[in-house]
Amino acid sequence: MIYWAPLLHFYQPPGQLHEVLRRVCDESYRALIEVFREHPHARATFNINGVLTEMLWENGFDDVIDGLRELGEGGQVEFVGSGKYHPILPLIPEEERRRQIQRNFVTNNYFLGDRYSPKGFFPPEMCYSKDIVDSIAESGHQWVIMSGVACPAGWPMDVIYEVESKKGKLAVFFRDDILSNKISFHNIDGPGFIDHLKGLQGHRNGDVYVVTAQDAETFGHHIKDWETVFLAEVYDALGEEEPLAALSTASAQPRLAAAGQHRTLFNYQAETESTEIEAVTISQLIGIFPRGPVVEPKASSWSATIEDINAGNPYPLWNTPGHELHRLQWEHIQICLELMESAQRSSDNDTSKNFAGIARVLMDRALHSCQFWWASKRPMWDINMINRGLSQQEEVVINAYKSIESSGAPNTIKREGYYRVVASRDIRAKITDQLFRG
């Protein structure tokens, strides 16, 4: 048996324009939900960041939330955990990591119901370092997914590697980067995908698995009709029998023998095949394949190449060494964090506590990854998304300093706060100059 475990990642940045969000819902999210409704045998793993779930509700797209909840309640999809505002987890402090993970759970559990009880974890942009493992494990997750480029050992097809944490071991799944990118960039069709999967079994004696992952927006928004031309066609090919993962191997074989045939894959095939393919959730793989050794994956992301990693650049679209704009952005983030933390410590009356609370909430949003991605010029560049992120950070600075200034903190603390405000102004000016020149 060949087990295919697809993961779809739903995300839009905080402050996304209503019209853009509406178009994404029309072209992608609603279309994907319909594909799964029309293929009740289809299985997949979904990540939706809490910021998007909230924006869907705030913008009146409740039907998308209802559709996702319906798929979860029906058992067709499993949901995984992440950071609410899609931060680059290895690049933010541990306290912020834990907060983002917890807030993501609270938000999605509220909108998606009890079926949102994630076993797995999707680090935003699959940005991984061993520093994030403890916060993932301590929040109750049992496995984590990362890019295939992070794999430090033989490629796992019939065994599941593990990573160590203070809470014990986490299962780790590596995305097949090559196959996933072929899907994402329209470089493979449905029959070619099935043929590729069938060829995997020749590398092992017995059952094998493959994990693919890409943005949900790939289907219908980035590539017109791709949810039908590719995804629905693949699910059509897998047939509509009861998923075999729900059966033991011993019980599945007699049923197939009694039926007198195996599932046919594509209509173009003249004969039935003995090679079977089943779509499953990633968590189902844990009940099928044995655990392997503990490994130490490489710091990486799903946009990093081997050359990037060897050059000490595991997060090239978000924090490239020597990239001046990235350096300025992260320097400004650090000032925001320091001011926000000072406000939290200093607030001692209603006014200062109010401003400190506002700064705390705004800081969560200000950590989103898109502002760095669009600054990377690899190859994309968007001054508006960069400036929007900078504006969100500026709001943190304003509210945090107002909290400090209106508190009973010593003058030394207030002066330190003001010096950070001045430094913030200088960095913002330098970033703005970069935008004008870019």
Single-letter code of the amino acid located at 89 = L
Q: Is 259 left (phi over 0), alpha (psi -120 to 50) or beta?
A: alpha
Q: What percent of the chain is modeled with pLDDT above 70? A: 91
Asked whether residue 250 falls in the same domain as residue 330, the answer is: no
386 Cβ partners below 8 Å, 6+ apart?
325, 329, 371, 374, 375, 431, 435
Would residue 314 count as lying in a domain? Answer: no
**For the chain, how long is the longest CA-to-CA vector?**
84
Q: Is residue 61 part of a domain?
A: yes
Tens digits of per-residue pLDDT, 274-287? 469 999 999 999 99
CA distance 130 to 172: 12
Q: How far apart are CA 128 and CA 104, in angstroms?
A: 18
Same domain assignment for residues 343 and 265? no
Residues 276 and 366 grouped into a single domain = no
pLDDT for residue 20 = 97
- Looking at the structure, tell me whether residues 175 and 74 fall in a common domain: yes
**Domain match, 29 and 109 both:** yes
> Does residue 275 sit in the same domain as residue 394?
no
CA 52 – CA 12 distance, rounded (Å): 6
Query: Is 317 part of any domain?
Result: no
**Segment 248-258 mean pLDDT:** 32
CB atoms within 10 A of CB 366: 26
Q: Following DSSP, what letter does each residue of 249-288 receive, concatenated?
A: HHHHHHHHHHHTSPPP--TT-SS--S--EEE--HHHHHTT
| CA–CA distances in Å: residue 74 to residues 18, 68, 70, 436 | 30, 10, 6, 51
In a domain, residue 190? The reply is yes
Q: Are residues 126 and 230 in the same domain?
A: yes
pLDDT of residue 275: 64
Contact between residue 85 and residue 107 where contact means Cβ atoms under 8 Å apart: no
Residue 45's alpha-carbon distances to 104, 247, 333, in angstroms, are: 17, 20, 32
What span, in angstroms and rounded, lies between the C-alpha atoms of 396 and 90? Answer: 21
Residue 206 — very low, low, confident or very high, per pLDDT cuts 50/70/90?
confident
Give the C-alpha separation, 347 to 336, whole Å.
16
Query: Alpha-carbon distance 115 to 117, whole Å?
Result: 6
The token duo for 27 is: 């072209």
Looking at the fold, whether 355 and 257 belong to one and the same domain comes out as no
Say yes or no: 185 and 331 in one domain.
Answer: no
The predicted structure's pLDDT at residue 204? 64
Position 368 in a domain: yes
DSSP 35-90: HHHH-TT--EEEEE-HHHHHHHHHTT-HHHHHHHHHHHHTTSEEE-B--TT-B-GG
Q: Are 80 and 121 in contact (CB under 8 A)?
A: yes
Whole-model pTM: value is 0.91
Is 372 found in the same domain as 293? Answer: no
pLDDT tens figures, 322-374 = 999 999 999 999 999 999 999 999 999 999 999 999 999 999 999 999 999 99
3-state secondary structure of 423: helix
The answer to whether residue 312 sits within a structural domain is no
In a domain, 313, yes or no: no
pLDDT-derived band at 203, boundaries 50, 70, 90: low
Tabulate helix, strand, coil % of the chain (nearest 5): 55, 15, 35
Q: Terminal CA-to-CA distance of the chain, rounded, Å?
A: 52
Q: Show which of 273, 306, 339 is a domain's final residue.
A: 306
335 and 408 part of one domain: yes
Does residue 263 lie within any of the structural domains? Answer: yes
CA torsion sign for 242, 176, 298, 50 is: negative
Q: Range of 379's domain? A: 324-437
From the DSSP assignment, how many helices (H) and strands (E) are in the chain? 18, 10
Domain boundary among 279, 306, 333: 306
Q: Output the average pLDDT for the chain.
A: 92
**Residue 201: what pLDDT?**
76
CATH assignment at residue 287: 3.20.110.20
What does the pLDDT look like over 54-102, one tens digit per residue? 999 999 999 999 999 999 999 999 999 999 999 999 999 999 999 999 9
Q: How far apart are CA 423 and CA 435, in angstroms?
A: 19
Residue type at 223 in one-letter notation: I
State which amino acid sits at residue 380: M
pLDDT of residue 365: 97
pLDDT number for residue 247: 35
Place of tokens 């499953």: 280
Instruction: Name the band, by pLDDT with cuts 50, 70 and 90, for residue 22.
Output: very high
Split into its structural domains, the chain has a count of: 2
Q: Note the helical H segments in 176-270.
A: 177-184, 190-200, 226, 233-237, 249-259
388, 15 Cβ separation under 8 angstroms: yes
Last residue of a domain, one of 262, 279, 306: 306
In angstroms, the CA 340 to CA 96 distance is 12
Report the 10 Å Cβ neighbour count for 140.
14
For 113, the 3-state DSSP assignment is coil
pLDDT at res. 242: 47
The tens digit of pLDDT for each residue in 111-149 reads: 999 999 999 999 999 999 999 999 999 999 999 999 999
Give the closest residue to 166 by CA, choosing from 137, 132, 139: 137
Statement to judge: residues 58 and 112 lie in one domain: yes
